[in-house]
Structure 1
Amino acid sequence: MTTPFYVSPAQAMQDRAEFARKGIARGRSLVVLQYADGIVFVGENPSRALHKFSEIYDRIAFAAAGKYNEYENLRIGGVRYADLRGYTYHREDVTARGLANVYAQTLGTIFSSQAEKPYEVELVVAEVGATPDGDQIYRLPHDGSIVDEHGSVAVGGNAEQLSTFLDQRHRDGMSLAEALKLAVEALSNQPNGSDREIPAERLEVAVLDRTRPQQRKFKRIVGRQLARLLDADGAASAPTDAPSDSVEETEEGEESGEQ
């Protein structure tokens, strides 16, 4: 009779964590930044159908890097949780903190289970407040831990290098144009130190804008409005509610994208 192959629990968890981290690192990076009027999400995404960023509820948005099919399931679950809680109690009872706790429990359970592989995803859940002090940004790695972020956060790809770059350059009170340009500059920065140009049509940009009169604060920035913001001198951002620009609104957390 042969002796069963033994792997210590610590080694098994380490191997699962390494597997998940490698899967997440293969995807394209995305960054989330606070600016004066809200929170902006920026990522390189050549797909027009698969989105990295999505609306979850009135003031809450979701961003993800990693395997699309896995975090799409999480996005759908988050929308259902938010809708049910808002309908059962009150819309103000739906918070980013509560949603992050739900995601943390789900990811933690999957990560510790030996019956299935860990999810190769890293999430960001953000909520815009009435003032900048009320903004909330939570990063959730593959193991279900929760990291409370402020100012800027990067996930996927070379996230560690991006985080260092953003920490050195981000400041409170930036305009939307300034924050957007900083995000694009960070994404253009290569691990070898060189820079590459990312055309506007390959960028996915969305915001949670606290100044919007609507209850829903999430919207996408595309087309001429995105080009105008990228060309702005940074002193003042263009009005983000201009109807003449191609601003695509989403319903109930439109699908977030991979890569």
Structure 2
Amino acid sequence: MAMQFYASPEQVQRDRSEYARKGIARGRSAVVLTYEGGILLVAENITTLRKISEIYDKIGFAAVGRYNEFESLRRAGIRMADVNGYSYDRRDVTGRFLANAFTQTLGAIFTETQKPYEVEICIAQVGSSPETDELYRITYDGSVMDEPGFMAMGGQAEAISNVLRERHDATADLKTALHLAAEALGSVGGENGQTRSLDSKQLEVAVLDRRRKGRAFRRIHGASLVTLLKGEQDVPEGDLGDVDAAPPQQATEKPTVSAAAEEQPAKAPEGDPAEPSDGVNGDGS
């Protein structure tokens, strides 16, 4: 009879934590920080797969790690937010509500499955002022932390956080905040410890704009991102980009009558009375 090896619960948890941390550290980093106009989300990303997304009206999502794992969490979060907003009230969908849901899901996966998720997530909710902005960090084991104005995930997150801690200013404008995020991401990963200069093709950028009504999420890409990174001039608010999928525009000439109602009933042929002529069966019987 084969003997099974025994491992203490503490050792199993340590092994899972070490496995998840190594997987997350291999990926490229992302930073989230507040600024005067809202919340800025920046990720180092050279692919078309997105690390930053919109969850709900005032709530954004950023993640690092294995794409297939955090993408499934993102889709589940969107469905949950839509169902609760439709069933109750849109104001009931908050960043704290979603952070608690992600915490329970990741905690259950970490303790009950053989392989933990190699992901780290940020749920950001923009408020009416920088003091009311909310940033929640959810880790692979279901732990959640309320971050004070900025955070870095993935890669060498500690070194990036040190740069943000020294220079972060919640009253800075968008251009200043974007320069800080790009410099923080480029402060690690260079050859022999040298800094890197990241351009628009290496960055995925989005904001949660507190001045917008309704959906606050906006992507920044193309010429607008290049202009902001160069710092030569400000970009007009209308040129910063828009949401991923805007609602369809209302039709200008929407029909008010269905096609079936427009069809005329067929006329009876001549000589075929509608009622029997003899008042019985019409055949003389």
Take 1:32 and 1:13, find their aligned partners in 2: how far apart are those partners? 29
Aligned to 1:256: none
2 CA distance for matches of 1:56 and 1:190? 29
Give 1:2 deviation, angstroms: 4.6
More displaced stretch, 173-182 vs 185-194:
185-194
Percentage of identical aligned residues: 51
Q: Is the 8 A contact 2:159 2:188 kept in 1?
A: no
Is 1:239–2:233 an aligned residue pair? Answer: no
Tell whether 2:171 aligns with 1:173. yes
Corresponding residue for residue 129 of structure 2: 131
Q: Structure 1 length as normaliser, TM-score?
A: 0.90
Where does 1:28-177 land on structure 2 (aligned, <5 Å)?
A: 28-48=28-48, 50-113=49-112, 115-177=113-175
- Are the aligned partners of 1:55 and 1:251 in contact in 2 as well (CA < 8 Å)? no
In the TM superposition, residue 202 of structure 1 has moved relative to its aligned partner by: 1.7
**Which residue is 2:217 aligned to?**
218
Cα distance in structure 2, aligned partners of 1:187 and 1:250: 24
Shift of 1:238: 2.9
Counterpart CA distance in 2 for 1:79 and 1:181 is: 30
TM-score normalized by structure 2? 0.82
What is the deviation of 1:239? 2.9
> Structure 1 residue 84: deviation in Å?
0.5
Q: Distance in 1 between the 2:214 and 2:175 partners?
A: 23
The answer for unaligned runs of 5 or more in structure 1 is 253-259
Consecutive aligned runs of 4 or more in structure 1 exceeding 3 Å deviation:
none
Q: Which amino acid aligns with 1:151?
A: G
Shift of 1:193: 3.5
Q: Does the aligned pair in 2 maintain the 1:28–1:156 contact within 8 Å?
A: yes
In structure 2, stretches of 5+ residues that fail to align are: 247-285
Q: How far apart, CA to CA, are the structure 1 residues paired with 2:169 and 2:197?
A: 24
Q: Which has the higher contact order (CA 8 A, sep 6+)?
A: 1
SS at match of 2:151: strand
**Greater radius of gyration (CA):** 2
Deviation at 1:228, TM superposition (A): 1.4
CA distance in structure 2 between the aligned counterparts of 1:232 and 1:104, rounded to whole angstroms: 39
The one-letter code matched in structure 2 to 1:21 is: R
What are the equivalent positions in structure 2 for 1:195-214 lying under 5 Å apart?
195-212=195-212, 214=213
